[in-house]
Amino acid sequence: MAKQKTAYFCQKCGYNSPKWLGKCPSCLEWNSLVEELITKDEPEKGNWRFGSQNAKPKSKPKKINDIHTTEQYRIITDDNELNRVLGGGLVPGSLTLIGGEPGIGKSTLMLQIALSLKDYNVLYISGEESEQQLKMRATRLKFENDRCYILTETATDSIFKHIEMLEPDVVIVDSIQTMVSPLIESGAGSVSQIKECAAEFMTFAKESDVPVIMIGHITKEGSLAGPKVLEHMVDTVLQFEGDRYMAYRILRTTKNRFGSTSELGIYEMQTDGLREVSNPSEILLSERASEISGISIASMMEGNRSLNIEIQSLVSTANYGTPQRSSNGFDGRRLQMLLAVLEKRGGFRLGTQDVFLNVAGGLKVEDPAIDLAVCVSVASSYEDLAVSQSYCFAAEVGLGGEIRAISRIEARISEAEKLGFKRIYISQNNMKGLDKAKFGIDIIASEKLEDVFRDLFG
């Protein structure tokens, strides 16, 4: 007979304690332990102890040299960006978790994927929206698919009964926080419920070779809600990022057992759904009729993709006391450092100036290779001298004003050449082993920041 007991679970890391604690011993978070009612079945005596004659192992150990591998079959979707992020498509039996802020477009993306898989039976399980709401969204997306099934259910025992009858090829769960297992008596969204429901879907995926995609909520800090063990259980973790007020979204991989974690996909949110962006550099560069001061082009890497982005700066006299330092899409502390380098090594008097920096397109960038473009953009606005639209920059700037080498320089140069740029500024140290003859773009190698300014502004 099942016996009931309560335990306290940390809502951050999943640590459980028989009594309440003010501070979690595992993740050191305060007031994160919540009481949950759990149910445990009594194990049958004799079939779990060592030496039991009733124990029947399900598998036996094999020599690694005796294990034969075959080429991995994948379900190729119509979404090339998703295929790239997953490493080539959906792997049968895989468990994928996708997270993102509310309203960013997770459900829209997953419904779009479900409707586009016309050669497979897809079951879309929704615990948040009704059938009518999903039908309205599908109508807006302008997709038609007779093999896409909608199930509005939250109880896992009922869900698996429908799965057994339907036998789908792909299962999408929206969202894992709304699922409820009858084996756990705590409420939906609790740590124990999330762990149990995810474990049930993982068992189903591995036993049936059906890929399962789960949508997960995130916390206000930006991490996936629920215990950290949830990310360890799944095969792939995807993060859907972007500003809900901007048009562009980034699908980034943070864990992938079947491919690279350095890939990303870029989408544009439109009225009829998410559109794949095959060449993001073209949309991230604004078309200007005339050259304007304070604008430079940076060559950056996002995963394995080279992007050219526009850096916009505005330097003006501070008339209201303390000068302002504001950046959008770029680390504010790194901006402060680069401004100090410009003042100390470049001779620019920025101590009495307001400096505003913006990365066009709403992207958030962390690649240090855009340092040179930021410095050139600020200097251009300070001197009110425009930089040619046909120039781009790819280098890191050190505290001594030196131009430092960066990685993947050939990919950056090739992308700049493909987009029609005439000149690219890089570090002198990147010239080692670089064949300039195979590029049709003028490559300018510099050692100091002042060398770049002298060439641009005279």
The Cα 292–Cα 288 span in angstroms is 8
8 A C-beta contact, residue 123 and residue 210: no
Task: Please say whether the dihedral angle defined by the alpha carbons of residues 240, 86, 121 and 157, taken in this order, is positive or negative.
Answer: negative
Which parts of 85-200 are beta strand (E)?
95-100, 122-126, 148-152, 170-174
The Cα 23–Cα 19 span in angstroms is 12
The closest alpha carbon to 364, from 272, 252, 234, 202, belongs to 252
Q: Is 227 annotated as a binding residue?
A: no
255: its two tokens: 């864990």
The Cα 149–Cα 137 span in angstroms is 14
Calculate the alpha carbon distances from 291 to 21, 309, 402 in Å: 62, 16, 27
Q: Is 102 annotated as a binding residue?
A: yes
Is the preceding peptide bond at 175 cis, omega within 30 degrees of 0? yes
8 A C-beta contact, residue 244 and residue 101: yes
Q: Hunting for tokens 């100090």 — which residue is that?
A: 340
116: its two tokens: 């586009």
Q: Is 105 annotated as a binding residue?
A: yes
The Cα 44–Cα 59 span in angstroms is 21
315: its two tokens: 């330097």
8 A C-beta contact, residue 259 and residue 88: yes
The Cα 197–Cα 420 span in angstroms is 52
Q: Is 164 annotated as a binding residue?
A: no
8 A C-beta contact, residue 394 and residue 298: yes
Contacts of 406 (CB under 8 A, 6+ apart): 368, 369, 394, 395, 396, 412, 426, 427, 430
The Cα 98–Cα 237 span in angstroms is 6
Tell me the one-letter amino acid at 455: D
8 A C-beta contact, residue 236 and residue 256: yes
Q: Is 101 annotated as a binding residue?
A: yes
Q: Is 107 annotated as a binding residue?
A: yes
Please report, in range form, the residues annotated as the binding site: 100-107
Please report, in range form, the residues annotated as the binding site for ATP: 100-107
